[in-house]
Amino acid sequence: MKKLFVLVACLCLVTAFAVFGMGKKNGGSAGSEVGSQAPDFTLTDMNGENVSLSDYRGNVVFLNFWATWCPPCREEMPSMERLHESMGGKDFVILAVNVEKDKEAVESFLRGSPYSFKILLDPEGEAQSAYRVYRYPESYLIDKDGKILEHYLGARDWSSVDFLNHLKDIVGK
C-alpha cells in the first residue's frame, strides 16, 4: 500500500511539472515564454483609466505581478521605485499588476507605501492568466518590439548596479 501511495504521489508531481511548465528553465508557458510576443492586455490603473501593454510599444517594459499579501512582493517594491527613478524618461516603464480582487486592499497598501510607477488592477485574472502567473512575485522584461526578453521568479533588488547596467544596455538598443 505504501509503494502504491508513493507511485501515485510521483505521478501527481510529474503531471504538475508537465501541466504548469515548472521544469522549464525560464518558467513561463505558451504565449509567455522568453522569445515570444508578450500577450497584450488592457487593465484599469488606480485612477480608473484603461491601460494596455501595447500602449508602451517602443519602450522597454518591466512587467511585475504582485499582491499586497505577498511578503516578497512588498519587499521588492522599494527597489522597483528606485529603478523607476533611475530609468525615468529613458524609453522604460514599469507596470506593476496587482492580482487581488479587492481594490481597497491595494489602496490601503499604497497609502502607507506610495509608488510613482504605474499600478494596474487585474481582479479577474486576465493578465495573470495570459502570462500563466501563479507564483509571486513574477516579472517579465519586454523589449521595445513587444517580445519577452527575460522572465524572473521571486523578489530581487531591481535597483542593483548590475541590473541597472543590464537594463541600460537593453534600453539603448
CATH architecture of 27-172: 3-Layer(aba) Sandwich (3.40)
Place of cell 523578489: 155
**pLDDT, position 22:** 35
In the chain, what are the domain boundaries?
27-172
pLDDT of 106-158, one tens digit each? 999 999 989 999 999 999 999 999 999 999 999 999 999 999 999 999 999 99
pLDDT of 42-101, one tens digit each? 999 999 999 999 999 999 999 999 999 999 999 999 999 999 999 977 899 999 999 999
Query: What is the edge-to-edge ordering of all strands in the sheet holding 138-142?
Result: 50-52, 42-45, 118-121, 92-98, 60-66, 138-142, 148-153
